[in-house]
Amino acid sequence: MIRTHNLFPLRWERLSGDFWPAVFANDNPVAIEIGPGLGEFLETIALREPNWNFFAVERSHSHARTIQQRIDRKQLSNARVIRCEAEFVLALLPDNCVDGYYIQFPDPWWKRRHHRRRLMTPAVVSQLHRTLRPGRCIEFITDVEEYFALAFGALDAEPGLEHIPTDPDLLTATSFSRKAAARGWKLSASTHRKLAGEA
């Protein structure tokens, strides 16, 4: 079920706070991308920020395989990918261990009966907040306005998160976002930061 060298246990047991050095063999800050698609953004940011580590969580087996091939081809020592549901990974992470989250164009699950499968629920936002280090950010982008409103509402309602301006580069970080902008689709993005002093 899980890709990436047994980094996560196949049982419901929260990881210890010092597990990232075992994954990356260094103490650099770690950002997580949930739903990296084919890994364009992961590759770009891993190359741009060599002193950061980037951990991608992808539910699609074929996409995770493609991302791993991209990592291998570019020899990205600071990037990893796991094939898993994001909720499972988030539940295992210890408190205050992630230095940033990137969530770009998550599946909107258009049909009403599938809305429960959407990623950006209050429960998931609570886990993002719990695992994020104080002063660090969750960056979210979508081209589905209705989904953005729901996600933004969940992020804004979470105690200990504050809305701050979004880096404009986030809107052109992938071919998907550039294609959407070229077609005139509205892109909506938000950045929420965990307040200093939050546990």
Q: Is the pLDDT of residue 178 over 80?
A: no
pLDDT in tens, 118-170: 688 999 999 999 999 999 999 999 888 888 999 999 999 999 999 999 887 76
Dihedrals φ, ψ of 159, to 5°?
-60, 135
pLDDT at 172: 62
Quick one: tokens of 90?
A: 């988030």
Helices (H), the chain: 20-24, 40-48, 61-74, 86-92, 122-131, 145-157, 175-182
pLDDT at 143: 84
Distance CA 105, CA 35 (A): 8
Angle, CA of 81, 123 and 135, to the nearest 5°: 70
Q: Is the pLDDT of residue 10 over 90?
A: no
pLDDT in tens, 31-69: 999 999 889 999 999 999 999 999 999 999 999 999 999
| CATH superfamily label, 25-194 | Vaccinia Virus protein VP39 (3.40.50.150)
- The full set of domain ranges for the chain reads 25-194
Scored b (16 or more CB within 10 A) or e, 28-58 reads bbbbbbbbbbbbbbbbebbeeeeebbbbbbb
- What pTM, to 2 d.p., does this model score? 0.87
Annotated catalytic residues are: 107
pLDDT in tens, 74-109: 999 999 999 999 999 999 999 999 999 999 988 654
Distance CA 141, CA 185 (A): 13
